[in-house]
Amino acid sequence: MRIAFYAPLKPPSHPTPSGDRRLARLLRAALRRGGHEVALASKFRSRAATDDPKAIEQTERRGARTAARLIARARAAPPGERPALWFTYHLYYKAPDWLGPVVAEALAIPYVVAEASHAPKRAEGPWARNHAAVAAAIGRADLVVGLNPADAECVRPLMKPAARTLALKPFLDPAPFAAAAAARAAHRAALAARLSLDPAAPWLLAVAMMRPGDKEASYRVLAEALARLEARPWQLVLVGDGAAKPAVEEAFAPLAARVRTLPSLPLDDLPAIYAAADLFVWPAVNEAFGMALLEAQASGLPAVAGEAGGVPSVVAHGCSGLLVPVGDDAAFARAVANLLDDPVRRAAMGAAAAAAVEAEHTIAGAAARLDAALRALVRAGAA
């Protein structure tokens, strides 16, 4: 099946790494594993940087022009080169889908959305136009793929009666992470030499972009939590970059002797970093579910995280890690201390994390479920 794939927030070809781009690429890869031909429909970014009504209207108009070109191009193409289905990944009030509903309607093909969220509080005010567009797109969708269980409550009431749903857990290819974990001793020695880390001390790890807003807030909670644990032996490795880097460095300045930093790394370099660490730590302020948390779990790394959004679908509290109220630095510190003081429990949680990823979060499993859902949808439309 030929699938037109679209990500309004950030195309999978975008040069800046992020969890959003990572999952867009994984979805495309999963669709291809199902035997589908996946073409990037457009690089048009609908993300609104501000709530300025004029800018939002201009983006909508550019979207309409882009959709018209896509429709004309598809109609002019031979039948075998036209999309049989439109697949949009991640739409919300700052990045509505101005393309998919229009193109799918014009071409009479199924419209599928994955990770759609809808915030009722945006129904009034400067974001109302985008808010309404997201609601309309969800209402047009023939299949809604849910990756964050927290979104379902507000999304389901917007769906048309005939629409189908597919609950899909976040996923990845666990093989590189499992392979790195098997060579943990070598990776730990290499990172110790690279960053002058004490191999005898527990190593904490956080991997995230350093962006203003929620990411910066998470880093600040982490710094405040670890400041409460100065009496314990630990060292922290931060992997990330971005506009908020000076603010993050300022937050960790009192702990600078214990903190090592690395820039954003290519995906191929990350498994070795995860494998070398002892505990993943991320406060997860307003996190959807956290691809880095999933990567850490695939590496056999237990996690302490904020209980935000879909994070509990990745980190099982008391089994593969510990979850705490979002933004509570004191509770976060207690959870980290609990696992720092109990290496046996850390190891058991790490093993449980890796086993859970193999059982429930693999790209092979996601590919099979997506393929079955999409083929059923197309068959139903042809009946």
Res 149: pLDDT: 86
pLDDT tens digits along 254-282: 999 999 999 999 999 999 999 999 999 99
d(CA 99, CA 63): 6
On the question of pLDDT at 290 being above 60, the answer is yes
* CB 145 within 8 Å of CB 115: yes
d(CA 3, CA 82): 9
pTM metric for this prediction: 0.91
| Backbone torsions φ then ψ of 279, nearest 5 degrees | -155, 130
Start-end of CATH 3.40.50.2000 domains in the chain? 2-171+362-382, 175-360
* CB 357 within 8 Å of CB 298: yes
On the question of pLDDT at 203 being above 60, the answer is yes
When pLDDT is cut at 50, 70 and 90, the band that residue 38 belongs to is very high
Q: Name the CATH superfamily, with its identifier, for domain 175-360.
A: Glycogen Phosphorylase B; (3.40.50.2000)
Which tokens hold the place of 327?
Answer: 């933004």
On the question of pLDDT at 199 being above 50, the answer is yes
On the question of pLDDT at 122 being above 90, the answer is no
When pLDDT is cut at 50, 70 and 90, the band that residue 15 belongs to is confident
Alpha helices in 202-328 (DSSP H): 214-227, 245-252, 270-276, 291-298
Instruction: Give strand ranges (E) for the chain.
Output: 2-6, 37-40, 85-91, 111-116, 143-146, 164-167, 203-207, 235-239, 259-262, 279-282, 303-306, 321-324
Q: Are strands 164-167 and 203-207 parallel, antiparallel or unpaired?
A: unpaired
On the question of pLDDT at 360 being above 60, the answer is yes
**Range of weakest confidence among 235-244, 281-290, 326-335:** 281-290
Average pLDDT of the segment spanning 191-200: 96
Other C-beta atoms closer than 10 Å to the C-beta of 129 total 17
Amino acid at 353: A
228-238 burial: b if 16+ Cβ within 10 Å, else e: ebeeeebbbbb
Which tokens hold the place of 325?
Answer: 């109220």
**Residue at token pair 């189908």:** 164
Res 227: pLDDT: 97
Average pLDDT of the segment spanning 227-243: 96
Res 309: pLDDT: 86
268 by Cβ neighbours in 10 Å (0-12 / 13-18 / 19+) ranks as exposed
When pLDDT is cut at 50, 70 and 90, the band that residue 50 belongs to is confident
When pLDDT is cut at 50, 70 and 90, the band that residue 382 belongs to is low
318: left (phi over 0), alpha (psi -120 to 50) or beta: left
* CB 302 within 8 Å of CB 280: yes
Average pLDDT of the segment spanning 5-32: 92
pLDDT tens digits along 166-185: 999 999 999 999 999 999 99
When pLDDT is cut at 50, 70 and 90, the band that residue 123 belongs to is confident
On the question of pLDDT at 204 being above 80, the answer is yes
On the question of pLDDT at 383 being above 50, the answer is no
Average pLDDT, the chain: 94
When pLDDT is cut at 50, 70 and 90, the band that residue 293 belongs to is very high
d(CA 138, CA 133): 9
Average pLDDT of the segment spanning 127-148: 93
Q: HSE-up of 5 (CA within 13 Å, CB side)?
A: 22
DSSP 131-182: HHHHHHHHHH-SEEEES-GGGHHHHGGGS-TT-EEEE----B--HHHHHHHH
Res 121: pLDDT: 82
pLDDT tens digits along 70-79: 999 999 999 8
Res 148: pLDDT: 87
CATH topology of domain 2-171+362-382: Rossmann fold (3.40.50)
